[in-house]
Amino acid sequence: MPNNPVSVGNYECGQGRPLLFLVGPCVMESEDLVLSIADHLAKVANDLSLQIVFKASFDKANRTSIDSFRGPGVELGMQWMRQVQERTGLPTTTDIHEPTQAAPVGSVCQVVQIPAFLARQTDLVHAAAEETAKHGHVVNIKKPQFVAPEDTIHIVKKCEGFGNPNVFLTERGTTFGYGRLVNDMRAIPIMQSCGAPVVYDATHSVQLPGGSTTGGQREMVPTLARSAVAAGCDAVFMETHPEPDKAMSDGPNMVPLNEIANLMQQLTRIRSLMSELENE
């Protein structure tokens, strides 16, 4: 069985533990933006005693349009992630798209994410599990939009088989027709039955796929995040930006940075209430 709870730096995520938050901008637009958002989140973590992991992508390799901004690349991206860790003390997470990226990312980031479209790629999962295991880090597998929740057990078993029992599973909606994702909150306890802590991705669950750029409904992030925490998820993934409408990727889905602390407080209160109800 995978480990549960799972350690992420000084944090713990899983059954009976406080919520873990994976929060940050969609893509690394610039060094200044990365560090300023990380500074803000570190202050929130300290002031509100929250478990926050800083999230940002060094490469948006799955963009629909060839003209879309992708990011600074793995080498510069990992330099910025090291700066975040040294400057703020926050653990970090990012996604990888190729097996060759597993080593440089797995040695820096405490959580390495496998994108939903790539979660069935055995070589990628193998590389991520092997490299993160060397450092005591975590593999976060996003459930593909086309995979049933119960079938994520096979991805967990791959990670364990390749040497890392520290696994997160992330729910991010299921494809329904064209241009819509549907969130079935039954997926959370079903995926937890695989043994791993479950993350709820409130950002990508509100995407409206299609067109040259992906649309979204950021106003629905709080509604779905609150529902997921009430359903028992162990962590919440949310993207944020000081000016989402000017963001270079996923702006329609991101929570404004000045609103993120209040939302995390709400979710923490719901987690505490659900724990009290379960113990009655």
Taking a C-beta distance cutoff of 8 angstroms, is the pair 128, 112 a contact? yes
Over range 130-151, report the average pLDDT: 97
- Does residue 77 surpass a pLDDT of 70? yes
- Does residue 246 surpass a pLDDT of 60? yes
pLDDT by residue (tens digit) across 92-121?
Answer: 999 999 999 999 999 999 999 999 999 999
Residue 213: pLDDT band (50, 70, 90) is low
The reply to whether the predicted model has a pTM over 0.85 is yes
C-alpha distance from residue 258 to each of 10, 14, 18, 261 (Å):
26, 28, 23, 7
Over range 144-148, report the average pLDDT: 94
Average pLDDT, the chain: 94
**Which CATH fold would you assign to the domain 13-278?**
TIM Barrel (3.20.20)
Residue 3: pLDDT band (50, 70, 90) is very high
Over range 162-176, report the average pLDDT: 95
Name the more confident of 275 and 133. 133
Residue 64: pLDDT band (50, 70, 90) is low
Rounded distance between C-alpha atoms, residue 175 and residue 75, angstroms: 33
Residue 208: pLDDT band (50, 70, 90) is confident
Name the more confident of 52 and 218. 52
Rounded distance between C-alpha atoms, residue 261 and residue 255, angstroms: 10
